[in-house]
């Protein structure tokens, strides 16, 4: 997982050195954490920017529908990310898996009335505009990039077969709860029982830090809930019974929390070297643990 020779990493190293020379170490870590998170979610941020700008400028009488334009925009973004090597081909494989699973969910959820895409478009299939797959892909892009950008490692990690099994149960529940009792509370409990001991190790600046994996998922689900509000307040999609300028229910954070475990399992199908890889002991000490924190060698 070493990418320290890339231009991006060289910029990161020089920026980190500059901040550490001028800021207390804790504040330098915080600033670098925020900057690296922003860099990791670049694709998703640009997609949200496209939603906001297109909602403000688009006119109904224009020949090109807004959803069709968003599809063209998303495809161009994806090509640009590959050409500029902002995403690796391994990450493109992950994004393709997200396209498939996300589009299948969209087709089902839209047609059972969970939400709707109210605008017309040529590139709509059974009520689902094709650009919507890129919204799911942006989550995949973020997860793949954030693991790489922060040199993440997940340890101690449960037996791997449990991860896709739980993910499959969560994914099935998104469909089945329309017909049988919702199992989400049992699934919430399963995520905590399975991953409570798992630490997400990451490097914001120089020293390895960690947080419990369920906490990382909860914080990320909060960010996705904010993104949901941007989507609905631009009228791009609306939930059943929701007015355009109404906040999305906080219950949707729970849905995103569970979906993140599906996303994580999808990422690990391609990125397996971050899970309980061999470690060496670092001389640096984490402020959150009296033990010398492990540094990934993978």
Ordered by start, the domain boundaries in the chain are 7-296
Q: Are 207 and 285 contacting, i.e. CB atoms less than 8 angstroms apart? A: yes
- CA–CA separation, 41 vs 172, rounded Å? 27
User: What pLDDT, in 10s, does the model give residues 203-252?
Assistant: 888 788 999 999 999 999 999 999 989 988 888 998 887 777 788 888 88
- CA–CA separation, 214 vs 37, rounded Å? 18
**Token reading at 139:** 């989550």
Instruction: Verify cis geometry, omega within 30 degrees of 0, for the bond prior to 156.
Output: yes
SS3 content of the chain, % helix, strand, coil (to 5): 55, 10, 35
**Token reading at 30:** 């915080």
Hey, which residues does 116 pair with through a beta bridge?
A: 238
Hey, which residues does 199 pair with through a beta bridge?
A: 155, 212
Whole-model pTM? 0.82
Q: Are 128 and 106 contacting, i.e. CB atoms less than 8 angstroms apart? A: yes
**Token reading at 197:** 């001991």
What does the radius of gyration of the chain's CA atoms come to, in whole angstroms? 20
**pLDDT at res. 199:** 94
**Token reading at 47:** 């997609």
**pLDDT at res. 129:** 94
Q: What does the pLDDT profile of the chain (298 residues) look like in tens digits?
A: 334 445 566 666 666 666 666 667 778 788 889 899 999 999 999 999 999 999 999 998 899 999 999 999 999 999 999 898 888 887 788 888 888 888 899 999 999 988 999 999 999 999 999 999 998 888 888 988 899 889 899 999 999 999 999 999 999 999 999 899 999 999 999 999 999 999 999 988 878 899 999 999 999 999 999 998 998 888 899 888 777 778 888 888 999 999 999 989 988 887 777 786 544 433 333 334 434 444 444 4
**pLDDT at res. 22:** 66
171: left (phi over 0), alpha (psi -120 to 50) or beta: alpha
Hey, which residues does 294 pair with through a beta bridge?
A: 281
Nearest to 54 by CA among 230, 243, 234: 234
- CA–CA separation, 94 vs 83, rounded Å? 17
Helix (H) or strand (E) holding 239: strand 238-239
Exposed e or buried b per residue across 216-255, where buried means at least 16 C-beta atoms within 10 angstroms of its C-beta: bbbebbeebbebbebbbbbebbbbeeeeeeeebeeebbbb
Task: Give me the helices (H) in 21-155, please.
Answer: 25-40, 42-57, 66-83, 89-111, 132-149
Tell me the torsion sign for CA atoms 24, 30, 33, 38. negative
**pLDDT at res. 4:** 40
């Amino acid at each position: 997982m070493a990418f320290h020779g890339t231009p991006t990493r060289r910029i990161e190293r020089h920026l980190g050195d500059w901040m550490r020379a001028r800021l207390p170490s804790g504040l330098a870590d915080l600033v670098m954490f925020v900057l690296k998170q922003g860099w990791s979610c670049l694709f998703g941020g640009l997609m949200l920017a496209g939603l906001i700008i297109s909602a403000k400028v688009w006119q109904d009488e224009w020949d090109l529908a807004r959803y069709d334009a968003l599809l063209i925009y998303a495809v161009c973004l994806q090509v640009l990310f590959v050409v500029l090597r902002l995403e690796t081909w391994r990450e493109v494989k992950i994004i393709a898996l997200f396209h498939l699973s996300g589009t299948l969910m969209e087709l089902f959820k839209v047609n059972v009335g969970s939400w709707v895409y109210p605008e017309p478009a040529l590139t709509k299939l059974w009520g689902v505009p094709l650009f919507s797959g890129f919204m799911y892909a942006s989550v995949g892009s973020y997860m793949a990039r954030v693991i790489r950008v922060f040199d993440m490692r997940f340890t101690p990690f449960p037996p791997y077969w449990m991860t896709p099994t739980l993910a499959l149960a969560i994914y099935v529940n998104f469909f089945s709860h329309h017909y049988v009792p919702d199992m989400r509370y049992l699934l919430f409990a399963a995520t905590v029982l399975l991953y409570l001991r798992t630490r997400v190790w990451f490097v914001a600046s120089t020293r390895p830090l960690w947080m419990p994996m369920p906490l990382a998922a909860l914080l990320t689900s909060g960010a996705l809930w904010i993104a949901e509000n941007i989507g609905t307040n631009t009228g791009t999609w609306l939930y059943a019974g929701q007015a355009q300028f109404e906040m999305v229910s906080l219950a949707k954070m729970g849905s995103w929390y569970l979906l993140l475990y599906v996303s994580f399992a999808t990422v690990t199908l391609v990125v397996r070297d971050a899970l309980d890889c061999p470690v060496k002991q670092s001389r640096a000490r984490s402020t959150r643990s009296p033990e010398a924190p492990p540094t990934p060698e993978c």
